Amino acid sequence: MKYLFPIAMILLTIISCKEEKAKPLSFVEKVAQANGIEHWKDVSELRFTFNVDRDTIHFERDWAWNPKTGQVAMTYNGETTTYNRDAVDERSLKADKAFVNDTYWLLAPFKLIWDEGYTRDSIIRDEAPISKDTLYKLTIHYTGDGGYTPGDAYDFFIDDDHMIREWIYREDNSTSNCFITTWEDYTEEGKMKFATLHQDETGGFKLYFSDIEVIKD
């Protein structure tokens, strides 16, 4: 019996060392965590309306998505398209392209963790194009043949709390064909944070989300 105590202490020391050597979070993991990605595993359905106002024109799409089964329903102009993301066909291809676009605007902080096939530049401090604040700049570039728009790049401007405040979308990694908007009006649903408003510097373009509903198991 006299050997049990020393052995137990050795085991506790090994466990303690393993805990101390836990891998630190990467920058993108901190961004996803700041937005509540740990709560995504409990989501059985996400519902939201994607809206765009450009000058006097209004556009919207309603979505209901079960991320565990892949089932998606899109309602646009009074017509509903239902399909499964594991079985996209010619009938549902247009809807799925819209789904990828609209969910990227809503879930980009999580996409930084979920997505594969992109490269990431070194994170630097730089001036945000709209606010002129000095923020962290994270640049990612989608490569290969995956997705609907391979080659696109994004510059994320992120504050000290790891929240996205602005971004630049660069089609086909262009430095001239750019689209810049804010990330603002964050709201919390299902213990996750969502930026509900994106607008350009002029205010003539506004992309926003309404009726966000998170249903959990």
- The pLDDT value recorded for residue 68 is 97
Q: What is the pLDDT of residue 5?
A: 46
Q: Is the dihedral of CA 46, 49, 54, 55 positive or negative?
A: negative
CA quadruple 34, 103, 151, 96: dihedral sign: positive
Q: Kindly state whether residue 9 falls inside one of the protein's structural domains.
A: no
Does the residue 211 lie in any domain?
A: yes
Looking at residue 175, its pLDDT comes to 87
Q: In whole angstroms, what is the distance from residue 203 CA to residue 108 CA?
A: 22
- pLDDT at position 149, please? 83
Domain membership of residue 21 (yes or no) is no
pLDDT below 70 — which residues of the chain?
A: 1-20, 146
Asked if the structure places residue 20 within a domain, the reply is: no
On whether residue 15 sits in a domain, the answer given is no
Calpha distance 95→72 (Å, rounded): 9
14: in domain: no
Is 0.95 topped by the overall pTM? no
**Residue 1 maps to a domain:** no
pLDDT confidence of residue 20: 55
Using CB atoms within 10 Å of the CB of residue 194, give its burial: 0 to 12 exposed, 13 to 18 middle, 19+ buried: buried
Domain contains 155? yes
Q: Can you give the CATH number for the domain in which 191 is found?
A: 2.50.20
Range of the domain at 95: 26-216
Quote the pLDDT of residue 177: 83
The number of folded domains in the chain is 1
Model pLDDT, residue 176: 86
